[in-house]
Homo-oligomer: A and B are copies of this chain.
């Protein structure tokens, strides 16, 4: 008996699912011993409904969530609407109705992931969301099934394809921030309001999910410090290259003696680090762990078919649960009390850009800089390892307000 699916939302990503099911559904059926079929699809309004019903799709398009929740023949709900509400309410209703739920909604998971996971557990149903972080890269499953048995020490991620595309073009083609943004919008990578992408908010949502999978810690979203790419100037890019670094918007989740540090910020990455060659709209997640050492997972961070593949992987596991081939288990097996690192324990090298007129002021800081470089009236320095609070404190003391202050990876 075919396993019936209700899909919430039918935008670009959701329409990838029928495509992939058409290509691989038979194969999935062979592996599982049972087939899947999309039964009902929830759309926004009557107009949308009629438009789709008159198209190529044979699904039952509905506008009322009750038609899916109350339909006992539907065992799996796949939420691909995005945003917080009404997605949160609908998912909660589906879980309470004993339906397994798959989503790729990172905003929702970052903010309400534990609440929804608990609800799934209470109702003994599966709640999987591989597509929520790094699109098609199976990073959550890898963290949950393999790295959960290791001791993860740090996760570094290039998690937002839009900003990475923009930075790549700013570096490789010398584009300005404005041009890069306009092109990203023209190509459909960035929305008309690009705030979440360029301000690091989208990456911060994903960093908070990675913190849960890598360390079991639920870090409140407002405790993830995030900074965007707006302030990166052509001078920074030129100097970074001369110093041997790429600039990337980097999520950094790191276990320190005093606790976990979770941040998203533009960062200088040495050109010979594997993450430095994650370019364009691609994503990369780099993990440092006790047993495995260094590993990296690279692939498209978004897109119709990559996300559909993640949903398919979730769907296979849900199918195994429905058919009694495996028990329901939490997607993320790790749970630990959240303990945040003290600000003064978070040490890093920093790149500081000032005007040459301020060099004497900089020298008063007494920092043993490892490199310095001049360009067109500007001066750049790489500091020794120092905490941001101490660095800012010292800068205040000498009355120096740098043009740029960017984290640098490496010893």
The verdict on A229 contacting chain B, using a C-beta distance below 8 Å, is: no
Residue of B nearest to A305 (CB): B291
**Is the beta-carbon distance between A294 and B300 smaller than 8 angstroms?**
yes
A303 vs B292: C-alpha distance when bound (angstroms): 9
Residue of B nearest to A335 (CB): B30
**Is the beta-carbon distance between B149 and A309 smaller than 8 angstroms?**
yes
The verdict on A173 contacting chain B, using a C-beta distance below 8 Å, is: no
CB-CB under 8 A from A310, the residues of chain B are 146
A145 vs B250: C-alpha distance when bound (angstroms): 28
Known contacts A141-B145, A277-B272; decide if A299 and B309 are in contact (CB<8 Å): no
Which of B31, B274, B295, B324 is A333 in contact with, Cβ under 8 Å? Answer: B31
The verdict on A306 contacting chain B, using a C-beta distance below 8 Å, is: yes
Known contacts A145-B138, A326-B320; decide if A299 and B295 are in contact (CB<8 Å): yes
**Is the beta-carbon distance between B309 and A23 smaller than 8 angstroms?**
no
The verdict on A148 contacting chain B, using a C-beta distance below 8 Å, is: yes
Q: A20-B149, A296-B298 are in contact. List 18 more A-B contacts (CB 8 A).
A: A20-B291, A27-B149, A136-B291, A138-B146, A145-B316, A149-B312, A150-B309, A272-B277, A291-B306, A292-B300, A292-B306, A293-B299, A293-B306, A297-B297, A298-B298, A320-B326, A325-B327, A326-B326
Residues of A with Cβ closer than 8 Å to B?
16, 20, 23-24, 27-28, 31, 130, 136-138, 141-142, 145-146, 148-151, 272, 274, 276-279, 282, 290-300, 303, 305-306, 308-310, 312-313, 316, 320, 324-327, 329, 333
